[in-house]
Amino acid sequence: MKKLTQETEIVHGVHSDHVTSFDLVPPIHMTSTFKFKDADHGADLFSGKSTGYIYTRIGNPTVDLLEKKIAVLEGGESAVATASGMAAVAAAALTLTAPGDNFVACSTLYGGTFALFSSDLARLNIHARFVSHRRSGSLKEIEEKIDGDTRFLYIETPANPTLDIIDIPLWADTARRHDIPLIVDNTFASPYLQRPLAMGADLVLHSATKYLGGHGDLIGGLIVGSKRMIGQIRESHMNHFGPVMSPFNAWLILRGLKTLALRMDRHSDTALMIAERLLSHPRVAAVFYPGLASHPGHSLARRQMKKFGGMIAFEVHGGVVAGKAVMNGVTLCTLAVSLGDCETLIQHPASMTHAVYSPSERKLAGISDGLIRLSVGLEHPDDILGDLRQALDRVP
């Protein structure tokens, strides 16, 4: 059959050989363990002589379906599902490193990832070396930080919360020159807008909590890459540390994924319109959205993304005090962390998602104290804009 478009793959996805029912929608296999036909069958499954399900921490048909589907959508050979996005970041980092190793990461990251990298992994004698891509000569800086104990490079693009666009091919070429993998957190874009593996990345990971699930009703993570690397993560980290995804959450993500293309188109189109309108509001000091021609990463975003996504960051004249007034003044937008939901969410990175950064670390990462982050939802664009305008107009 002719190769399907990504929009069709998003709806249809993959079919598991192990699911034999005629249901249009696959059932949820809520079981912790699986029956063996006899003792030899059980032993053969354990030894790898036969393939099949043993125990849900090791594999489950519903979770399998989701793993196969995200692998198709990201264009990877294989995938593994995790209990959360943080579990995906930790699984990838811990599988690739041992005490004494280091890795090089772009410094603008989700606050939880930054905390894991800068404190928790450091306790295990695994050290993050941060690079600010905002400084000119960042390529030289990456090169200078790589040595014989560097095990991977790590970026997030668009980056949380500044919406900075990081150059995937540039980091991928650097990784290849040093024979180490590049990991890309593709949470903000989703595979519908950006496919990092096609641009040279080796592992792509997601907080599936966000656009992949799309409905704000679950926590989950996914990692996609080569059979070899995913096999290593599955066997060493997932089976033994055990941060696996519940079959119920996998089913919810499979359901959410079917509308990914529709949702991402709508999120992106509305966000572009709102970013443009915010730009001309007298109370707004700056708008950061990769779809704006004024964004420093605009031409790069045009090269590596299909559209520019649903996340906007902006600053209000009057700094933190004025920003708080906007967040307290909205009535339709919801004051909450997380992103990628149907509802528009608004939050303050410096005191919320990125409070773990010290003030100087935030400065290096480009996260100003007055920055407000908006996850543009699926409401009518005029209603979202109207709500933001009335809150901005009332700033004292």
Kindly write out the interface string for residues 180-199 of this chain, putting x where it contacts ligand LCS by CB under 6 A and - elsewhere: -----x-x------------
C-beta closer to ligand LCS: residue 45 or 157: 157
C-beta closer to ligand LCS: residue 71 or 89: 89
Compute the least distance from the CB of residue 85 to ligand LCS, in Å: 2
Residue 13 contacts residue 65 (beta carbons within 8 Å): yes
Kindly write out the interface string for residues 317-356 of this chain, putting x where it contacts ligand LCS by CB under 6 A and - elsewhere: --------------------xxx-------------x---
- Range in contact with ligand LCS (rule: CB under 6 A) among 81-89, 229-237, 260-268, 291-299: 81-89
C-beta closer to ligand LCS: residue 86 or 182: 86
Which residues make Cβ contacts (< 8 Å) with residue 145, sequence separation at least 6? 104, 129, 131
C-beta closer to ligand LCS: residue 60 or 160: 160
Measure the CA–CA gap between 23 and 153, rounded to whole angstroms.
43
Q: Which of residues 196-225 bind ligand LCS (CB under 6 A)?
A: 207, 209, 219, 221
C-beta closer to ligand LCS: residue 146 or 197: 197
Measure the CA–CA gap between 189 and 179, rounded to whole angstroms.
26
Measure the CA–CA gap between 98 and 93, rounded to whole angstroms.
9
Residue 337: what residue type?
V
Which residues are 155's β-sheet partners? 184
**If binding is defined by CB under 6 A, does position 34 make contact with ligand LCS?**
no
Q: Which residue is listed with tokens 């450091």?
A: 122
Compute the least distance from the CB of residue 24 to ligand LCS, in Å: 29
According to DSSP, the β-strands at 345-347 and 334-335 are parallel
Compute the least distance from the CB of residue 210 to ligand LCS, in Å: 6
Q: End-to-end CA distance of the chain: give it in Å, rounded.
A: 62
User: Residue with CB nearest ligand LCS?
Assistant: 85
C-beta closer to ligand LCS: residue 86 or 168: 86
Q: Which of residues 113-142 bind ligand LCS (CB under 6 A)?
A: 113
- Range in contact with ligand LCS (rule: CB under 6 A) among 67-75, 106-114, 175-183, 361-369: 106-114
Which residues make Cβ contacts (< 8 Å) with residue 240, sequence separation at least 6? none
Q: At what angle do helices 381-393 and 319-329 cross, to 10 degrees?
A: 130
Q: Which of residues 139-168 bind ligand LCS (CB under 6 A)?
A: 156, 160
Compute the least distance from the CB of residue 256 to ligand LCS, in Å: 14
Compute the least distance from the CB of residue 339 to ligand LCS, in Å: 5
**If binding is defined by CB under 6 A, does position 107 make contact with ligand LCS?**
no
- Range in contact with ligand LCS (rule: CB under 6 A) among 105-113, 253-261, 362-370, 382-390: 105-113
User: Binder to ligand LCS among 84, 107, 246, 270 (CB under 6 A)?
Assistant: 84
Point out the residues that are catalytic.
57, 110, 185, 210
C-beta closer to ligand LCS: residue 211 or 251: 211
C-beta closer to ligand LCS: residue 89 or 253: 89
Compute the least distance from the CB of residue 17 to ligand LCS, in Å: 29
- Range in contact with ligand LCS (rule: CB under 6 A) among 80-88, 176-184, 256-264, 321-329: 80-88
**If binding is defined by CB under 6 A, does position 112 make contact with ligand LCS?**
yes
Residue 40: what residue type?
D
Task: For residue 211, give Cα distances in angstroms to 122, 220, 378.
Answer: 30, 11, 12
- Range in contact with ligand LCS (rule: CB under 6 A) among 20-28, 82-90, 126-134, 360-368: 82-90
Q: How many CA atoms lie within 13 A of 28 on its CB side?
A: 12
Q: How many residues bind ligand LCS (CB under 6 A)?
A: 19
Q: Which residue is listed with tokens 């009518």?
A: 380
Interacting residue ranges for ligand LCS, rule: CB under 6 A: 84-86, 89, 110, 112-113, 156, 160, 185, 187, 207, 209, 219, 221, 337-339, 353
